[in-house]
């Protein structure tokens, strides 16, 4: 009988330790349930949207939260969509001219006199039409092939 009591008293601390370890893990996993194309970030998410590029720093600024997976951005409905989908939605809203395409964060077109510009991200970027790759703006603001510049 003494052996049974000894075994019983050893089991309780083991159960207590297991309970103390497993309970927080099970509670934490409830917080980590994220939506489609999202994942949990321990230090909080830093999502860019289709309209705005976020510059993120590797500092824990808030409790963990769900954010878009790499290559995805938040759309206007707050879902995570592929970056190409942002461009597609922007194209549907505005038609671009000849030799132009939609740039979700704004265009940065070279010109015949300055074909290779160093572009900076705007404070409030917005989708706009810009020259396709290999094209620059001429004096009349049309996109032409670089080799067609006078």
* Residue 29 confidence (pLDDT) above 60: no
Q: Is the pTM of this model over 0.85?
A: no
| Tokens read off for 124 | 């409030």
Q: How far apart are CA 103 and CA 88, in angstroms?
A: 10
* Averaged pLDDT, 114-138: 84
| DSSP one-letter code for 62 | S
| DSSP one-letter code for 35 | -
Q: How far apart are CA 105 and CA 121, in angstroms?
A: 8
Is the CA virtual torsion 111, 116, 120, 121 positive or negative? positive
Same fold, 30-90 and 94-148: yes
| Tokens read off for 32 | 């980590």
94-148 folds as Laminin (2.10.25)
At 11 the pLDDT is: 57
Cβ within 8 Å of residue 138, ≥6 positions away: 111, 112, 144, 149
| DSSP one-letter code for 71 | T
* Domain layout of the chain by residue ranges: 30-90, 94-148
* pLDDT tens string 37-91: 999 988 878 888 887 777 777 777 667 889 999 889 988 788 999 988 876 665 5
At 18 the pLDDT is: 45
Q: Please write down the long-range contacts of 134-139, taking CB distance under 8 Å and 24 or more positions apart.
A: 135/99, 136/109, 136/110, 136/111, 136/112, 137/109, 137/110, 137/111, 137/112, 138/111, 138/112, 139/112
At 92 the pLDDT is: 59
At 95 the pLDDT is: 78
Q: Judge whether 124 and 52 are in contact, CB under 8 Å.
A: yes
Name the architecture of domain 30-90: Ribbon (2.10)
């Amino acid at each position: 009988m003494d052996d049974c009591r000894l075994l019983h008293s050893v089991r309780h601390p083991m159960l207590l330790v297991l309970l103390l370890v497993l309970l927080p893990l099970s509670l934490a996993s409830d917080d980590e349930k994220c939506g489609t194309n999202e994942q949990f970030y321990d230090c909080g998410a830093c999502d860019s949207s289709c309209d705005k590029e976020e510059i993120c720093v590797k500092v824990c600024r808030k409790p963990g939260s769900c954010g878009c997976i790499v290559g995805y951005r938040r759309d206007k409905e707050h879902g995570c969509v592929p970056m190409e989908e942002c461009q597609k939605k922007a194209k549907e809203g505005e038609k671009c001219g000849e030799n132009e395409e939609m740039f979700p964060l704004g265009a940065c077109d070279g010109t015949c006199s300055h074909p290779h510009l160093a572009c900076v991200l705007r404070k409030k970027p917005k989708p706009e039409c810009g020259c396709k790759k290999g094209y620059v703006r001429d004096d009349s603001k049309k996109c032409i092939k670089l080799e067609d510049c006078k």
